[in-house]
Structure 1
Amino acid sequence: MDKKLDVYYTKEGDTWDKIAYNVYNDELLYIDLMLANVLLIDIAVFDANIPVICPDIKPTNNANLPPWKQ
């Protein structure tokens, strides 16, 4: 179980949804980021250089999404 974790280092002014968009190209995955970083959950706007763990998130089934979201 030697799995490498991806870490994103914040930039001044980053927010959870902005980090999710930068990492996963989907701002709605901010919830997964928050759950993986419970010690940072009370931060709304980040200072620079804070490490945020980015879990490996499996793609969801796009069949139920509207065409512009697929």
Structure 2
Amino acid sequence: MNGLPSIEYRTKAGDTWDLIAFEQLGSCGYVSLLLNANRQYSDIAIFSAGTILTLPEITENTKVENLPPWRR
């Protein structure tokens, strides 16, 4: 823990991991970070409304994973 308060996101019906990562964190490449911060929900593919997820902190040094070479 870095001492900063956690940022939470309440899902909407139909949300998916990649959609949440894109809309809330700015890139689908952050899906693995989002999943790691919310392992208890890793078996859910499509969310119903009202699940509260923890959003990981994204900084300039956060590496986006699985990008094609031209986006790295």
Q: What's the TM-score once normalised by structure 1's chain length?
A: 0.79
Q: Deviations over 1:20-70 (max 9, x none)?
A: 001111011111000000101110000001001001022347xxx63xx48
Structure index of larger Rg: 1
Higher helix share: 1
Unaligned runs of 5+ in 1: none
Q: Secondary structure at the match of 1:48?
A: coil
Counterpart position of 1:41: 42
What is the CA–CA distance in structure 2 between the aligned matches of 1:40 and 1:53, rounded to whole Å? 11
Letter of the aligned partner of 2:18 in structure 1? D
Unaligned runs of 5+ in 2: 64-68
Give the CA RMSD over aligned residues. 1.9
Map residues 50-69 of structure 1 onto 2, 5 A cutoff.
50-59=51-60, 60=62, 66=70, 69=71
